[in-house]
Amino acid sequence: MNQNVGSTDKRVRISLGAVLGAVSLATLANATPLPGVAALVFGVAALALLGTAATGTCGLYSLLGVDTCPASAGESR
């Protein structure tokens, strides 16, 4: 798969992934008044965001035809 996640998009994904991961851990430690299932949901979302930021590819972007990577079509990414 070609990279389709640009640098700004990566920064946003890393930031949101870190926040959701922290909320997930806080929920597991009973530091927040959220139900236990929220820890699982936030944890999975955090892993997905951090994973797509690390690889530079997003499957949903591929399906929708979105590309935030600034490289032109002729250049290697």
Mean pLDDT, rounded, for 10-21: 97
pLDDT tens for 47-73 read 999 999 999 999 999 899 999 988 655
Give the predicted TM-score (pTM) of the model.
Answer: 0.84
The answer to whether residues 28 and 42 touch, using CB atoms and an 8 Å cutoff, is no
pLDDT tens for 24-49 read 999 999 999 999 899 999 999 999 99
2: left (phi over 0), alpha (psi -120 to 50) or beta: beta
Mean pLDDT, rounded, for 11-29: 97
3 contact partners, CB below 8 Å, separation of at least 6: 55, 56, 57, 69, 71, 77
Residue 69, pLDDT score = 87
